[in-house]
Amino acid sequence: MEPDPVAVGASSSPPAASPPRQLPPPGDDERGAGECADAARPDQRASGGDPNDAPPPSPASAAPQPSPQEPTGEDTAASCEVEQEQEKEKEKEVVPGVGEALRIFMEEFGEEDNTLTLSPLLKEITTPDGAAALRFLGGKYNSILERYKQQVAKCADQCEPRYDDLKKKYTDECAERKRLYNELIELRGNIRVFCRCRPLSSDEITRGCSSVVEIDSSQENELQFVPSEKERKAFKFDHVFGPKDDQETVFSETVPVVRSVMDGFNVCIFAYGQTGTGKTFTMEGVPENRGVNYRALEELFKISEERTTSVAYTFLVSILEVYNEKIRDMLDESNDQSKRLDVKQSADGTQDVAGLVEAPVYNIDGVWEKLKFGSRNRSVGSTNANELSSRSHCLVRVTVKSEHLLTGQRSRSQMWLVDLAGSERVGKTGVEGDRLKESQFINKSLSALGDVISALASKHSHIPYRNSKLTHLLQSSLGGDCKTLMFIQISPSSTDSGETLCSLNFASRVRAVEHGPARKQADPAESLKFKHMVF
């Protein structure tokens, strides 16, 4: 039988020697394992096919031995296996079971999508696998954070309309409650009392003075008087303004009373408190931060412009002061000190000052000029309580005349804006001579005001209005058909705690006064015309 040519060719020609391969570097387990597998299969790589297709070599034709410089396939595979075993032994000696700890760590965080709790297994991963665990943890954190942001955005989209609707309902409810409360106060005829507390001055802070007044911003009607840790007394008013409330905030609560003047009601707004508590600042203000007087008249002109097509308004302004129980006209350019002014009762039963200058004003700029002129003529002096203390009661009277263009109905109403002198004790001011005399007259008039308030609160049959020029002027405001608002100005300083307590007690008595509902005021000339028509 002829020999198989394929077998003969295979046995006669020596196989091509494989080029020498470099051993994998230590630690490169994956590549080293692949190369070792290739070295274990030299016959498959040489033949280019399946080793089962090639016949086994005959014994007569032995394969040529490789040169000593070239390692055989079996030697290379054995060498790779030995090195891999050595590397595994080294890893086991450093940290046993590191790969298993990383797998458990990743499985633990992969099971729950809505929870991220730091695993103690992370502390066990101290080899290079720790970096992979941290990268996995960071990716998990970013995924949860992104899902959280999406849920927040979705919740905001769903809840924002409901929040806006509830907020509007709450605001409307508060406004309605306040409106009904104001109507109740008007029906009862109470004097509304607003309390305003100034901030501690830099000098008081330097001297170590503490605050004896506590105001909770959520409780707009209440304050706490705390002169010591063991003493605490609560006071309630119609509104309480803290040191952070500005002039605009204060006036916004005053607007409803001011607007009543344009509807034919008499209005009186006055500030009471010791020297240095900010009475003049609240009522007059400064050019860059004006007070109630200027803002009230600005509001009147604003309403007049809004109603110009239906109602014609005329505004007259008078400014006077009560100084040492004498009435002085602040708009009298002649400055005639001998001019005697007194309080008289007019035909309609209200109090009036005959001969008082009534200056017509047509816009807010004209009003400001009149107010500045009157302020320059006001009596001021220096005391221990204030370098420029008001030594008189300053009263601004605004007369509003209106005529309805369609019905012809006329009305005449007045608004009094009163800045009272300081109410502190004489001993605290440290005054002598003329200043002492001024203080005595101031305290006398304020005591008369206190007597009137007490009599009104107790509903006495006799009210001592004539005990002072001040109370006589304010008779219609305190006990007549008038809407009255009082600002009680207090100091938070511990050095003024005595005066602060007196002011708070006085304001509480004022708030208890009920003088009946206010009534619209008709023009006296109009009433006289109707009387002539009847008779």
Binding-site residue numbers are: 273-280
DSSP state of 68: T
- Strand, coil or helix: 411: strand
User: Which two three-digit tokens encode residue 73?
Assistant: 């396939």
Strand partners, 361: 315
- Distance, in Å, from the CA atom of 300 to the CA atom of 427, rounded to the nearest integer, reads 42
Query: Residue 44: which region, alpha, beta or left (left: phi > 0; alpha: psi -120 to 50)?
Result: alpha
> HEC profile for 305-339?
HHCCCCEEEEEEEEEEEEECCEEEECCCCCCCCCC
| DSSP β-ladder status, 233-236 and 482-490 | unpaired
Strand partners, 380: 390
Strand partners, 487: 194, 271
E strand segments, 91-217: 192-197, 213-214
- Strand, coil or helix: 201: coil
Type and span of the H or E element at 299: helix 292-306
Sign of CA dihedral 311, 477, 381, 284: negative
- Distance, in Å, from the CA atom of 487 to the CA atom of 476, rounded to the nearest integer, reads 18
User: Which two three-digit tokens encode residue 406?
Assistant: 């369609």
Cα–Cα distances (Å) from 127 to 84, 132, 380, in that order, read 18, 10, 86
**Interaxial angle between packed helices 292-306 and 364-376, expressed in degrees from 0 to 180 and rounded to the nearest 10:** 160
User: Which two three-digit tokens encode residue 227?
Assistant: 């002169």
Strand partners, 397: 318, 416
Backbone φ and ψ for 280, nearest 5 degrees, come out as -65, -35
CB atoms within 10 A of CB 456: 19
- Distance, in Å, from the CA atom of 461 to the CA atom of 213, rounded to the nearest integer, reads 37
User: Which two three-digit tokens encode residue 56?
Assistant: 């086994």
Where is the binding site for ATP, in residues? 273-280
- Strand, coil or helix: 423: coil
- Distance, in Å, from the CA atom of 297 to the CA atom of 150, rounded to the nearest integer, reads 54
